Structure 1
């Protein structure tokens, strides 16, 4: 497959972590015989402008970013007509010790959250009185907006555990009622998918007690944000979640959270969420084997403690670059990477 991929490294640690994702994508291209034409936006050049970055993104098939700050501070999301967001929350056995929950509770957790992403909801009517004794926010969704994101959720479930759960805010909310109606009607077109509706209070409880009940979660944006933040206890780290903004032509992929995003002095930032964002990008284009190879490599890096200091209590000499080297090495030599373990520590990866 031939893909044009724009990369927005932003500032701070952005260039360092996206470099590892590019390294991994190049390894995938070589191993699976693809053509990935990768262009990096020059955000630091005096001659570079926001319009040039937007033009680069609009001429690409997909965008890989270090975070969503550029998307939020510019008109990129609007110009690309993004309409949905998805975030993956997955548990890793080697990180289970970092979770406050029991290992047997979080084991096997793999949840894909979908929510609508539209300007109309962000720009809904808001009002506060001058003395701050009264405030008002409206929440709006159209049938078309809900149907677009619901279709993505049901189609994603076809390649996963074949379960979709709609989480509503309130049984008395007219917006929630519309979500239930639209998603319920759409579920009839996917008879192989188990469809359930639950309220937010129950979902919050079940997410902590029996997270494996969830496969694909469909909900409003404000609810999704709350649930995704809470779900960080299931993964043992916030630095492994990746998110996509889905558009009609181009989609954007980036780490959900990074605690040191704009810290230029932070040494050896964790690149795994950025690398997993690249896996999401490939899956978006139906390259499931390629995406799975990246996920397997990430899991192996965690098992072998080839991770940056934030996740590593065994070795203190693993750099951001070494993590990227190992994952690229694993993709091209999945049966040899154990033998190369010592070389990776010495910075002598077979990938140049």
Structure 2
């Protein structure tokens, strides 16, 4: 068998629970194709701070850069809310993204037919929704400088800077157009060009890239209108490309189309590196109760197979298992409703059902 090494950063809250499930399913899926998955686990986020006094150590960052492929759980929680900005768990995540250079965040939004009733929106609105949100991840207001606080003649103020360069916009745009070529060949670029200078540069830069892809249709949409359209008519979107802040907000909003943020995986790519993580947070209120939904973490492992390990069949098998578990009616509390044919299940039971439904190729 060949061997692949993955760095796992379970993090905080439910992170360790969902990461364990994801690694178990990942190992089983890859083993079927002759690949052994070796994992190296490191404390990260609040867990990293508790052990090392830092949310992420330089040693961990170097390890991630060395092995290139990282599976992450979740970070944060009230326990660390009073720490300074550079010590908070979220600082580790921003530093890791920057160090790995993973500038393209892919967030697939697919509504599973068996979960159409889990959303608060009407079934006919969301059924067959299939959107790929391409979020720029290492620029924009989260990384802009200057970032400061001031006195302001006795009136305290804070300053954050939203900054994008032409090259930053164009490299994420190319990722979006390439992805669209494999889908319905439509890209919607989301900005706030009626107000922000950074968005006007964004729009112009995207249009320059669009000229290289005459077979792909480009449209523009203001972010406030896009937030409304996602709820009104989500099926109008194919690939959506946008900046760091807008992508963060819109992808969480889009989670409600699927019924729960616990259903959304993500892949962050760049420079040959891959960071894979569920979109949901650490959910400290249910940590340790065995109720966490592992499907987003498991689906993130499928994306790891697809984009970093070049194991498309293993990725497909994991995704098929997820569909089968949902079609069989198994539900964690976040997606459960008392409908006929549904069964309330915990994290471990979902993991076991995934393994049962995991397709094993004929030998």
* Equivalent position SS for 1:301: helix
Cα offsets for 1:261-320 (capped at 9, x unmatched): 47544333111110011112122234333323222211221121223233234434x331
1:33–1:302 CA distance, 2 compared to 1 (3 A): same
Residue 196 (str. 1) matches residue 219 (str. 2): yes
Report what 1:78 is aligned to: 98
Among 124, 137, 143, the alignment partner of 2:145 is 124
Cα offsets for 1:238-266 (capped at 9, x unmatched): 11012233231322111111462475443
C-alpha separation in 1, matches of 2:232 and 2:140: 35
Alpha-carbon offset, residue 191 of structure 1: 2.4
Report what 1:300 is aligned to: 324
* Equivalent position SS for 1:65: strand
Cα offsets for 1:86-119 (capped at 9, x unmatched): 2222212222222222111101112111122225
Report what 2:84 is aligned to: none
C-alpha separation in 1, matches of 2:261 and 2:183: 23
Among 119, 124, 129, the alignment partner of 1:104 is 124
Alpha-carbon offset, residue 120 of structure 1: 6.5
C-alpha separation in 2, matches of 1:176 and 1:135: 22
* Equivalent position SS for 2:74: coil
Contact 2:262 2:334 in 1 (8 A): no
Alpha-carbon offset, residue 134 of structure 1: 6.5
TM-score (normalizing by structure 1): 0.84
1:268-287 aligned at under 5 Å gives the runs 268-285=291-308, 286-287=310-311
Report what 1:151 is aligned to: 174
Q: Unaligned 5+ residue runs, structure 1?
A: 336-352
1:177–1:218 CA distance, 2 compared to 1 (3 A): same
Report what 2:61 is aligned to: 54
Report what 2:40 is aligned to: 39
Alpha-carbon offset, residue 71 of structure 1: 6.2
Report what 1:19 is aligned to: 20
Cα offsets for 1:28-64 (capped at 9, x unmatched): 2122333433322256799878233223212213100
Report what 2:279 is aligned to: 256
* Equivalent position SS for 1:160: coil
Q: Unaligned 5+ residue runs, structure 2?
A: 77-88
1:94–1:131 CA distance, 2 compared to 1 (3 A): farther
C-alpha separation in 2, matches of 1:204 and 1:167: 10
C-alpha separation in 2, matches of 1:42 and 1:17: 15
Contact 1:71 1:77 in 2 (8 A): no
* Equivalent position SS for 2:299: helix
C-alpha separation in 1, matches of 2:214 and 2:39: 40
* Equivalent position SS for 1:231: helix
Single out whichever of 106-115 and 195-204 deviates more from structure 2.
Answer: 195-204
C-alpha separation in 1, matches of 2:157 and 2:38: 53
Single out whichever of 127-136 and 242-251 deviates more from structure 2.
Answer: 127-136
C-alpha separation in 1, matches of 2:305 and 2:17: 21
Report what 1:4 is aligned to: 5
C-alpha separation in 1, matches of 2:5 and 2:271: 16
Number of aligned residue pairs: 334
Alpha-carbon offset, residue 18 of structure 1: 1.1
Residue 320 (str. 1) matches residue 321 (str. 2): no
1:300–1:172 CA distance, 2 compared to 1 (3 A): same
C-alpha separation in 2, matches of 1:287 and 1:194: 30
Report what 1:345 is aligned to: none
Alpha-carbon offset, residue 168 of structure 1: 1.6
